[in-house]
Amino acid sequence: MALGWYELKLAKDGQFMFNLVAANSQVILTSELYRSRAAAENGIASVQKNGLEAESFEVKVAKNDKPYFVLKAKNHQEIGRSQYYASLASAQKGIQSVIRNSATTVIKDLTAKA
């Protein structure tokens, strides 16, 4: 099965962020904003490590009653979060997709296109 990839991007304010994209081109995890490229790259490395373990994920419910999940490092710091899902079952499928795709080493640098 083909793995997804990471997209390293520049946010509008000049900070860095990344998405984990599944093989079907769906964004399955979005990072926080980082002040430097190196910090964002460290964030990707943390997803590659922590995204393989189901216990690193926490399912939450937003104010609009839509479930989503966050991926946390061993120190309990949030590394990334998902979109809002229509159901808890869909959020669980999203977690499984992150587990399957997080180990990818493909990083597409889109910072020059911002």
- What is the DSSP code string of 21-75? E-TTS-EEEEE--BSSHHHHHHHHHHHHHHTT-GGGEEEEE-TTS-EEEEEE-TT
Q: Which two tokens stand for residue 23?
A: 């093989």
The pLDDT score that the predictor gives to residue 114 is: 47
Q: Classify residue 76 as left (phi > 0), alpha (psi -120 to 50) or beta.
A: left
Instruction: Show the tokens assigned to 60.
Output: 């939450």
Q: Are 85 and 60 in contact (CB under 8 A)?
A: no
Reported as a pLDDT band with limits 50, 70 and 90, residue 51 is: very high
Q: Where residue 95 sits, what CATH number does that domain have?
A: 2.30.29.80
When pLDDT is averaged across residues 53-63 and rounded to a whole number, the result is 96
Domain that holds residue 86: 5-110
Does the pTM exceed 0.85? yes
Number of domains in the chain: 1
Average pLDDT, the chain: 95
